[in-house]
C-alpha cells in the first residue's frame, strides 16, 4: 500500500477551516468539494489513458484520452457522498457505484448494508471515497469487496487519516495482489478511545449532513 499525503498550501488552508468546529454545514460541504477536487488531481496521476488521433485546426496529432473500461468512482455511504462531486469534476466520464458500509460503534467492525456496483469489475481502476481513514476497517472491507469483483487497481481518497488506521488497513489488505494507493490531505496524530481521529474534524457525516 502506498500512502500519499498531499502537501499543498491550499489543501492545508481548506482543511484548517474544515476542522474548525464553528464551520457550518453549507461551508463544510463546499470546502469538502473543493478539497476533494485538489486531492483528485493527485489521485488520478496514474489514471489509465490510451493514444487518441485527432486533428487540430492546424494539423493532425496524437494525444491521449481516458482508457476503457472507464474508471469507477465508489463513494462509501454516507459521508463519502459529500466527496462525489469534487471527484467527478475531474473525471466526468467515470461511472459511479455505491457501497453502504456502517461501523458498529462498539466493535468498530465494518459491515456492508447496501451495494450498487457492476458484478464484474475486471480490469477496472476504482477510486474509493471515504473522508475519514480512522480504524481502517471500513476501507479494508470496501477494497476487499471491489477486488473480489475483479477491480485491479484501487485508489482511496480521504480527507484525514490516523496512523493506526493506515497500519490496520495495510494489515487488512495483507496478501492482496492489487495495488492500493491512499491519497489524503493530512495524517493526523492518533485515534481516541471512541475511534475518532485526533485532532480530526469530528463526525464527517454529521458535519456534512447534520446529525441523524
Using CB under 6 A, which residues numbered 128 to 167 contact ligand URA?
A: 132, 134
List helix spans (H) across the chain: 9-19, 25-43, 84-88, 137-148, 163-172, 204-209
Residue 200 lies near ligand URA (rule: CB under 6 A): yes
Cα→Cα distances 28→83, 85, 92, 140, 209, Å: 11, 14, 23, 26, 9
- Sign of dihedral through CA atoms 171, 173, 176, 178? negative
- State the binding string over 56-95 for ligand URA (x if CB under 6 A, else -): -----------------------x----------------
Residue 63 bridge partners (DSSP): 52
Residue 197 lies near ligand URA (rule: CB under 6 A): yes
Tell me the pairing of strands 197-198 and 190-191: antiparallel
Per the annotation, does 100 bind a ligand? no
- State the binding string over 5-44 for ligand URA (x if CB under 6 A, else -): ----------------------------------------
Considering CB under 6 A, how many residues would be counted as binding ligand URA?
A: 10
Per the annotation, does 181 bind a ligand? no
Rounded CA separation 95/91 (Å): 9
CB atoms within 10 A of CB 24: 8
Segment near ligand URA (CB under 6 A), from 17-25, 32-40, 84-92, 198-206?
198-206
Q: Which is nearer to ligand URA, 117 or 132 (CB)?
A: 132
Q: Which is nearer to ligand URA, 130 or 153 (CB)?
A: 130
Amino acid at each position: 500500500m502506498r500512502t500519499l499525503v498531499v502537501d499543498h498550501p491550499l489543501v492545508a488552508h481548506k482543511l484548517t477551516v474544515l476542522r474548525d468546529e464553528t464551520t457550518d454545514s453549507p461551508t463544510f460541504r463546499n470546502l469538502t468539494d473543493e478539497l476533494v477536487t485538489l486531492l483528485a488531481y493527485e489521485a488520478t496521476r496514474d489514471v489509465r489513458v490510451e493514444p487518441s488521433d485527432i486533428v487540430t485546426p492546424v494539423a493532425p496529432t496524437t494525444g491521449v484520452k481516458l482508457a476503457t473500461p472507464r474508471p469507477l468512482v465508489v463513494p462509501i455511504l454516507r459521508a463519502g457522498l459529500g466527496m462525489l462531486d469534487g471527484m467527478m469534476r475531474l473525471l466526468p466520464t467515470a461511472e459511479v457505484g455505491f457501497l453502504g458500509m456502517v461501523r458498529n460503534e462498539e466493535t468498530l467492525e465494518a459491515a456492508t448494508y447496501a451495494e450498487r456496483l457492476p458484478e464484474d469489475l475486471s480490469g477496472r481502476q476504482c477510486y474509493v471515497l471515504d473522508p475519514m481513514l480512522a480504524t481502517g476497517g471500513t476501507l479494508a472491507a470496501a477494497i476487499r469487496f471491489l477486488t473480489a469483483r475483479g477491480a485491479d487497481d484501487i485508489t482511496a481518497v480521504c480527507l484525514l487519516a490516523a496512523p493506526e488506521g493506515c497500519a490496520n488497513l495495510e494489515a487488512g489488505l495483507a496478501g492482496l495482489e492489487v495495488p492500493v494507493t491512499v491519497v489524503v490531505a493530512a495524517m493526523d496524530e492518533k485515534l481516541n478511545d471512541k475511534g475518532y481521529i485526533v485532532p480530526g474534524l469530528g463526525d464527517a457525516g454529521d458535519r456534512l449532513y447534520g446529525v441523524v
